[in-house]
Structure 1
Amino acid sequence: MNKSKWRRSGKADPNPRDIYQEVTDKILAALERGVLAWQRGWDQGLAGAPMNPTTGRAYRGINTLLLGMMQDAAFNGDPRWCSYRQAQARGWQVRKGERGTTVVFYRKLQRRGGTDGETSGISHDGEGEGARPFFMVRASTVFHATQIDGIPVYNPPGIAAEPWRTPEAVQTILDNSGATIHYGGSQACFVPSRDCIYLPPKGAFRSDAAFSCTALHELSHYAYAPPRLDLSQGGRFGSAAYAFEELVVSIASVNICTVVGVEAEIENTASYLADWMTVIKSDKRAIFRAAADAQRVADYILGFHPDYAAAVRAANEAGAGEQDGDGDPGDTLDEFDDQAVPVVERLATAA
């Protein structure tokens, strides 16, 4: 019996697909080659973050990493990805023989409790008495715009449409963040005990992009710590908690750079890679948690840009943040996003 028949029969699949392990193995394989899944391989000033052209939404969390590894397809500066069904609904056609890219989404289900704690059934959207919500991870396949015939030519949004993609954007974010930043010396760091950021003078950086990337990295540590997002586990240098935070901050700073149009530069020394790989290997859901926390950090920091914050508010009021419920990527409900799913605790604290 194939997997679709197992689902229709209501019986448990005897050989369930382990999507968490698949994604973890894929990202570990990239790290072993020295490739950072969250390092963009294209001109971020043109492309921006991966997005779905049929919903107008950017991909988030773990999906930004999965699509970020598909660098060759995005060299043309086109960030658009969508499913076969979404393309077909628009009259576009995925070319025969094209291989898609896996992304994930979470479907919210309700487990209805029976007598003596037994489960009497599963509902996709029921909220009846005794129903308990849980989330089922699902994989979907998307195709890049270059693999789709009939899709309109991509015209990157200009500054008028995305005014946060300007040379002044990072400084605006820093100024509005409320963070105490000391310039001088030769080190870039966030000091939790003093709750402040230290950066070398701007002139010491080899480029404006290098300054922006470093400043956003340290600002991500600032956002990660209490009393802001309070995600920090307080790990000392060399600990697993410290490595996890560095992993989150590395992903977050790239996500921010991508949105504001800065070419990110990441330090991927052997020691960093080894620490990150140890964290990811320790738990098949670790990279999912890290990507979700990085999304929270990026959202928090980008909110300091007034134009970006206003655009997010307008999108939310228009309902762009709602899930269509059709299971297509781009309408992703993230199990690890406690802003989108308040009933689910962060796995890092629940595990």
Structure 2
Amino acid sequence: MSNFKKQKAHAPTRRDHYQEVTDRIVAALEAGTPPWRRPWDPEKSGGPLSPINAVTGRRYHGINVLLLGMTQFSFASGDPRFCSYKQAKDRGWQVRAGEKGTTVYFYKSLRVEDRDAPADGEEHMRNIPLLRSFTVFNGSQIDGIPAFTPPTIEEAPWRRFDAADIIMRNSGAVIRIGGDRAFYRPATDTIHLPPKNAFRSPEGLASVAIHELAHWSAAPSRLNRDLTGEFGSAKYALEELIADITSCLVNTELGLPTDIENHASYVARWLERLKTDKREIFRAAAAAQKAADYCLAFHPDFAESQSDSDEQDAADSDAPLVEAA
């Protein structure tokens, strides 16, 4: 009996990945820096780039973009590449001793028999979502990896100066010019922007236009997000959170500024929601990634370059499966 109690007392505590991630996001927000913003100087870093896998070249998605963007490597090193220790080893590269990796995640479904289903002779299965975690290292932490060369305009034409115009035009969104505010009006399905001379630069105008396109993507005929929240409500704040992350994801791909000003009440609402629901940031990041991909697909060159999910990049990482409780 005593041996049983001793073993039980030393049983490993199950890590709560949802809470760990949420705590990191909350800490960043409380420090005054939304972690999906990019605080670098584009002229010194060669322009912001989304994190990619160093071996496959595929982009990371959703919550992983936020987590990798929170590391100093994403802007200080100028190298957006990450990969697992095993991926590096398989390529003959070596993660330097003492380097600390970053944990990233993806969902994987496990199909199991549903024992609670009616006994009608038919086979009943259900999917259990599993959260898989694995560790990646930045290219600057790896010896032997080839030097990173930013893509040229020919290789990434969606980073040309007119990329945002192409996306806005191909989207078919109705844009009204006038007034002193930028907003999307669901009742008329229209985007409203101030005149061009109200912006400090063409890049600033493009960045704000993309933010409103993120809201536009939520319409019932598109991605069908909930737009019924009134200003100041929790629903309204959630949509602003999704649109804010979306615009940062899109603007980063296009090489545009991501420092769009937000009302302080939004941040307060975001903190309130995240502290009461540890899965909220995962849902918001997933919705934002879906919206970003939707908007970016209006650029034909980017549409051809879209990559697969993070699951394929984790296939050789020996990552443990953690049930999504």
Same fold per TM (> 0.5)?
yes
Tell me the alpha carbon deviations over residues 119-150 of structure 1, each in whole angstroms, 9 at most, x when there is no partner: xxxxxxxxx95442222112221111111111
Q: Which residue does 2:248 correspond to in 1?
A: 254
2:182 to 188, 197, 202: 188
In structure 2, what residue type is equivalent to 1:263?
P
Aligned CA distance change for structure 1 residues 59 and 324 (closer, same or farther; 3 Å) = closer
Q: Which residue does 2:224 correspond to in 1?
A: 230
- In 2: Cα distance, 1:113 partner to 1:228 partner: 33
- In 2: Cα distance, 1:328 partner to 1:251 partner: 29
Q: Which residue does 1:149 correspond to in 2?
A: 143
Q: Is 1:105 matched up with 2:106?
A: yes
Conserved? CA contact 1:243–1:279, under 8 Å: no
In structure 1, what residue type is equivalent to 2:16?
D
Conserved? CA contact 1:45–1:258, under 8 Å: no
Q: Which residue does 1:342 correspond to in 2?
A: none
- In 1: Cα distance, 2:62 partner to 2:302 partner: 18
Aligned CA distance change for structure 1 residues 229 and 25 (closer, same or farther; 3 Å) = same
In structure 1, what residue type is equivalent to 2:173?
A
Conserved? CA contact 1:45–1:263, under 8 Å: no
Q: Which residue does 1:57 correspond to in 2?
A: 58
Aligned CA distance change for structure 1 residues 239 and 96 (closer, same or farther; 3 Å) = same
In structure 1, what residue type is equivalent to 2:272?
T
Q: Which residue does 1:124 correspond to in 2?
A: none
| 1:50-89 matches, cutoff 5 A | 50-72=51-73, 74-89=75-90
| 1:155-194 matches, cutoff 5 A | 155-194=149-188
Conserved? CA contact 2:106–2:311, under 8 Å: no
In structure 1, what residue type is equivalent to 2:36?
W
- In 2: Cα distance, 1:68 partner to 1:45 partner: 16
In structure 2, what residue type is equivalent to 1:29?
A
Tell me the alpha carbon deviations over residues 19-41 of structure 1, each in whole angstroms, 9 at most, x when there is no partner: 00110001001111011110023
* CA displacement at 1:160 relative to structure 2: 1.1
Conserved? CA contact 1:105–1:327, under 8 Å: no
In structure 2, what residue type is equivalent to 1:272?
Y
3-state DSSP class of the match of 1:198? strand
| 1:1-351 matches, cutoff 5 A | 15-42=13-40, 43=42, 46-72=47-73, 74-114=75-115, 129-312=123-306, 320=308, 323-324=311-312, 327=315
Conserved? CA contact 1:113–1:131, under 8 Å: yes
* CA displacement at 1:323 relative to structure 2: 4.3
- In 1: Cα distance, 2:314 partner to 2:205 partner: 42
- In 1: Cα distance, 2:74 partner to 2:295 partner: 29
Conserved? CA contact 2:61–2:309, under 8 Å: no
- In 1: Cα distance, 2:52 partner to 2:277 partner: 28
3-state DSSP class of the match of 2:55? coil
Conserved? CA contact 2:177–2:195, under 8 Å: yes
Aligned CA distance change for structure 1 residues 268 and 101 (closer, same or farther; 3 Å) = farther
Aligned CA distance change for structure 1 residues 132 and 294 (closer, same or farther; 3 Å) = same
Q: Which residue does 1:5 correspond to in 2?
A: none
- In 2: Cα distance, 1:184 partner to 1:325 partner: 46
- In 1: Cα distance, 2:252 partner to 2:314 partner: 28
3-state DSSP class of the match of 2:158? coil
3-state DSSP class of the match of 1:141? strand
* CA displacement at 1:194 relative to structure 2: 1.2
How many residue pairs get aligned? The number is: 304
* CA displacement at 1:45 relative to structure 2: 5.4
3-state DSSP class of the match of 1:57? coil
In structure 2, what residue type is equivalent to 1:106?
Y
Conserved? CA contact 2:53–2:313, under 8 Å: no
3-state DSSP class of the match of 1:103? strand
3-state DSSP class of the match of 1:110? strand
Tell me the alpha carbon deviations over residues 50-96 of structure 1, each in whole angstroms, 9 at most, x when there is no partner: 00011211000000000111135532321001111111111111111
- In 2: Cα distance, 1:179 partner to 1:45 partner: 31
Q: Percent of pairs identical after alignment?
A: 50
Moved over 6 A (4+): none
Q: TM-score, normalised by structure 2?
A: 0.87
Conserved? CA contact 2:159–2:253, under 8 Å: yes
Aligned CA distance change for structure 1 residues 30 and 251 (closer, same or farther; 3 Å) = same
Tell me the alpha carbon deviations over residues 286-321 of structure 1, each in whole angstroms, 9 at most, x when there is no partner: 000000000111011111111112333xx5xxxx55
3-state DSSP class of the match of 1:20? helix
